[in-house]
Amino acid sequence: MPRDIVGTASRRALTEIFRKQILIVSIVIEPSAIEIRAIDRIEELRNVEALQKDVWGCADLDVVPLTLLLASHEVGGVLIGAYDESQLIGFVYGFPGYEQGRVTHHSHMLAVKPGYRNHNVGYKLKLAQRAAVRAQGINRITWTFDPLQSLNAHFNFAKLGVVADAYKINFYGEATSSFLHQFGTDRLWVTWNIASRRVRERLTAKTGIPVPDLKQTPCLVDIDADQAPRKNESNLFGGRPYLSIAIPADINSLQNRQPHLASSWREATRWAFTKTMALGYVVEDFYRLAGNGQTVGVYLLTYRKHTHDSAP
C-alpha cells in the first residue's frame, strides 16, 4: 500500500514543490494495490474536480465541472479513476467526437497525483480507456499535449504508439490559470489508432522501443551546450524521408530558471513543427538520448508516403 512518508506536508505545499521541479517526495508504491475503475458516483465526481486543481494548479473557472462530466457520460463519455483504497489519485476523461468525417473519442484530460507518478498508473488508465472506447466500437482516440514536455512525449509516442500530423498554435489561448500553461499553449494533435498493429505491438513490447541511429537524420532544431535551441533551416529543403526535432529534457525547470530560453524553445519548435507538417511530415516517434553531458528528447518525423501506420 502506498505510504506518503512526507506525512503531514499539506497538499498546497506539495503542489508548490512540484511546480518548482524539485520534487523530493518519496512514496512507496505497490502498483498492484492501485485499483483502476469507472467513476460514476456524484461524490466521486467531486474528487475529480479537486484533483484537476491539484495537478494543474488551475483556477475554478478552468476546472471541468461535475455537471459536464455527468452530461458527457450520458452520451458516451468515458471517465476512469485510479484509486489508492478510497483515495482518487488519478483519472482519465474523454468524450465521443467527430473528426475528419470519422467518429473518434477525444481524450481531454489525463492526470496522476505527483507522488504516484512513474509507476505506470497513467499507462494503466490509458489501457482502461482504450478498452472502454473499443467496447463502444470506436477505433481512434485523439488528444493534445505540449510538445515541449518530454515526459508526455515519451509517454505518448514510446509507450502508447500515437502519431501526430497537426500542430495547434496557442490551442487554449496564450495562457490559462495552470502553471503548466505559462509560455503559450501550443499543442501537438495526436491520434491513437487503438486497433492498429503499431499500437498493439507498442503495448505488448517487453522492452522499450529500440533507438535508431539518428546521426544521418537531418535535425531541424538542435540543442546547444547552454541549452539554447539552434535552428537548421537548410534541412527543410531537399525532400528528406526523415527529419528530427530536439527538445530539452526538462522544459519546466528551464522555464523556472531561464524563462527567455523556454520562450526561444517555443518559437523554434513552433517553426519546425508547422513547417514540416505543411510539407506533409508526420511525427512518428520520440527518443530520450544522452550525449554531450546532457539528456535530450528527439522527435522523429517521417515524410507521409513512408508512414507505415495509416490503419484506422
Ligand X SMILES: CC(C)(COP(=O)(O)OP(=O)(O)OC[C@H]1O[C@@H](n2cnc3c(N)ncnc32)[C@H](O)[C@@H]1OP(=O)(O)O)[C@@H](O)C(=O)NCCC(=O)NCCS
Q: Which of 110, 164, 277, 301 binds ligand X (CB under 6 A)?
A: 110
Q: How far apart (Å, rounded) are the C-alpha atoms in residues 154 and 169?
A: 21
Nearest distance from C-beta of residue 204 to ligand X, angstroms? 15
285 DSSP assignment? E
Binding mask 285-304 for ligand X (x = CB under 6 A): ---x----------------
Q: Which of 150, 196, 235, 255 binds ligand X (CB under 6 A)?
A: 150
Interaction between residue 118 and ligand X (CB under 6 A)? yes
Measured from the CB atom, the residue of 2 and 235 that comes closer to ligand X is 2
Other beta carbons within 10 Å of 271: 17
Q: 85, exposed or middle or buried, with CB in 10 Å at 0-12, 13-18, 19+? A: exposed
Measured from the CB atom, the residue of 110 and 240 that comes closer to ligand X is 110
Where helices occur in 29-149 by DSSP H, the ranges are: 42-56, 66-74, 121-135
Interaction between residue 159 and ligand X (CB under 6 A)? yes
Using CB atoms, what's the residue nearest to ligand X?
122
Interaction between residue 73 and ligand X (CB under 6 A)? no
Which range, of 93-101, 152-160, 171-179, 210-218, touches ligand X by CB under 6 A? 152-160
Q: How far is CA 47 from the centre of its chain?
A: 22
Q: How far apart (Å, rounded) are the C-alpha atoms in residues 297 and 222?
A: 10
Q: Which of 52, 152, 191, 255 binds ligand X (CB under 6 A)?
A: 152
Q: How far is CA 3 from the centre of its chain?
A: 27
Characterize the bridge pairing of strands 219-223 and 242-248. Answer: parallel
25 DSSP assignment? -
Q: Which of 57, 122, 184, 229 binds ligand X (CB under 6 A)?
A: 122
Nearest distance from C-beta of residue 113 to ligand X, angstroms? 8
Q: Which of 34, 48, 51, 55 binds ligand X (CB under 6 A)?
A: 55
Interaction between residue 120 and ligand X (CB under 6 A)? yes
Q: Tell me, what amino acid is at 125?
A: L
Phi-psi region of 23 (alpha: psi -120 to 50; beta: other; left: phi over 0): beta
| Positions that interact with ligand X (CB under 6 A) | 55, 109-112, 117-123, 145, 150-152, 154-155, 159, 249-250, 288
